[in-house]
């Protein structure tokens, strides 16, 4: 890891450990995991299936307790869901009886904040993700990519400094996925959040990230960290650059089955 120590640490895992107790005994999901993520940094985590990437994200968001070690978000240890985190799940998880606008305003309602003052903000986000004209549509009337963009707006409505994304584009087709990557990059450039991004796709991780972390199979720990120094904003054609291919190959060889 580079000596970026002058920057503010937003997420920190220290000797993190997670063990699940199941009916068939204990499963070590994560063991001695150490990562530091700096302010406004985009970090992707890749690794073989079932290596505990989602578990890592759930621990960060406070959905799951850790077994040992430390997790700190914005300097304070995690002991449950916190306001400074926005989360985008694998599926859009939109309420099918609510319109696009009402889905985006759900967190505002839950926090009992004045809906009126956030309505304008919601419209700005809708504009940002290019969904103008769809604010009164129901989720069932939108495509998968559009639904996931709505769920991104919902995560951004409270303007949290940290965004956790759990394979958000995993269920989209390849073309839509490329579009979503471009769009996410654009949104990240505008909003400048600290992002922890889980993905199965190495090119996606390289395209979006400042840094890519490779996890080992269970029990997970960091096996490789790669800095991506491509200039931003990145173009889809960057994926065909030699350096891009080199990074992908390097990451691919670090992922063990």
Binding site for another protein (CB under 8 A): 58, 61-63, 81, 83, 85, 87, 89-91, 93, 95-97, 106-107, 109-111, 134, 136-138, 140-143, 146
Q: For another protein, give the closer residue by CB, 33 or 142.
A: 142
* H or E segment to which residue 88 belongs: strand 85-88
From the CB of 158, what's the least distance to another protein, in Å? Answer: 8
- C-alpha 145/C-alpha 37 separation (Å) is 28
- 3-state SS string for 15-45: EEEEEEEECCEEEEEEEEEEEEEECCCEEEE
E strands, 80-209, in order: 85-88, 162-166, 194-198
From the CB of 18, what's the least distance to another protein, in Å? Answer: 16
Q: For another protein, give the closer residue by CB, 91 or 225.
A: 91
From the CB of 156, what's the least distance to another protein, in Å? Answer: 12
Q: For another protein, give the closer residue by CB, 111 or 132.
A: 111
Instruction: Give the number of other Cβ atoms within 10 Å of residue 192's Cβ.
Output: 12
Q: For another protein, give the closer residue by CB, 71 or 206.
A: 71
Q: For another protein, give the closer residue by CB, 63 or 123.
A: 63
From the CB of 176, what's the least distance to another protein, in Å? Answer: 13
- C-alpha 113/C-alpha 250 separation (Å) is 47
Q: Collapsing DSSP states into helix, strand and coil, what is residue 162?
A: strand
Q: For another protein, give the closer residue by CB, 162 or 251.
A: 162
Q: Which position has the token pair 């869901």?
A: 81
CA angle 116, 117, 119 (to 5 degrees): 65
From the CB of 151, what's the least distance to another protein, in Å? Answer: 9
User: Token pair of 172, please?
Assistant: 């989209």
From the CB of 35, what's the least distance to another protein, in Å? Answer: 20
């Amino acid at each position: 890891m580079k000596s970026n120590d002058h920057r503010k640490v937003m997420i920190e895992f220290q000797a993190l450990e997670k063990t699940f107790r199941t009916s068939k005994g204990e499963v070590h999901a994560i063991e001695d995991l150490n990562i530091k993520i700096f302010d406004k940094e985009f970090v992707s985590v890749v690794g073989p299936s079932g290596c505990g990437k989602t578990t890592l994200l759930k621990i960060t968001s406070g959905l799951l307790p850790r077994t040992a070690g430390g997790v700190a978000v914005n300097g304070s240890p995690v002991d449950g869901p916190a306001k400074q985190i926005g989360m985008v799940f694998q599926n859009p998880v939109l309420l099918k009886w609510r319109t696009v606008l009402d889905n985006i305003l759900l967190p505002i309602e839950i926090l009992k904040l004045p809906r009126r003052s956030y309505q304008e903000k919601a419209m700005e986000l809708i504009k940002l993700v290019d969904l103008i004209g769809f604010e009164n549509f129901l989720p069932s009337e939108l495509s998968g990519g559009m639904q996931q963009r709505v769920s991104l707006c919902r995560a951004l409505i409270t303007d949290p400094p940290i965004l956790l994304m759990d394979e958000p584009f995993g269920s989209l087709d390849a073309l839509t996925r490329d579009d979503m990557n471009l769009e996410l990059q654009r949104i990240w450039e505008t909003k400048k959040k600290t992002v922890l991004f889980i993905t199965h796709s190495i090119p996606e991780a390289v395209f979006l990230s400042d840094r890519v972390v490779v996890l080992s199979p269970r029990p997970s720990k960091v096996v490789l960290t790669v800095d991506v120094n491509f200039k931003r904003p990145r173009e889809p054609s960057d994926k065909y650059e030699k350096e891009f291919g080199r990074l992908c190959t390097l990451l691919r060889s670090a992922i063990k089955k």
